Amino acid sequence: EKDLYDCLTYMDFEPAIWKKIRTTNIIEQTFREVRQRTRPMSIALPPHATERLFTGIAKNLNANWKKSFVESTQNY
């Protein structure tokens, strides 16, 4: 009950994009992608290599997100 307002924040945007932004699926998919790419590694990477790995994964995911979705939310 105390978090209801936060859960309904997506309603501040135009109804056409509600279905795309009302869940945390994008964030969860990002975490799954990071886990999927780092699990096969059996060694611990030094901090600079880990940072480069995560940056590369994030850039790849960002490039694959639908351009139309990004354009439809840029006014917010």
- Quickly count helices (H) and strands (E) in the chain: 5, 0
- What pLDDT is recorded for position 7? 80
Mean pLDDT of the chain: 78
- What pLDDT is recorded for position 57? 83
- Mean pLDDT throughout 45-60? 85
Query: Predicted confidence band at 18 (pLDDT cuts at 50, 70, 90)?
Result: confident
28: Cα separation from own chain's centroid: 7
The CA-based angle 17-20-22, given to 5 degrees, is: 95
Domain boundaries, the chain: 24-76
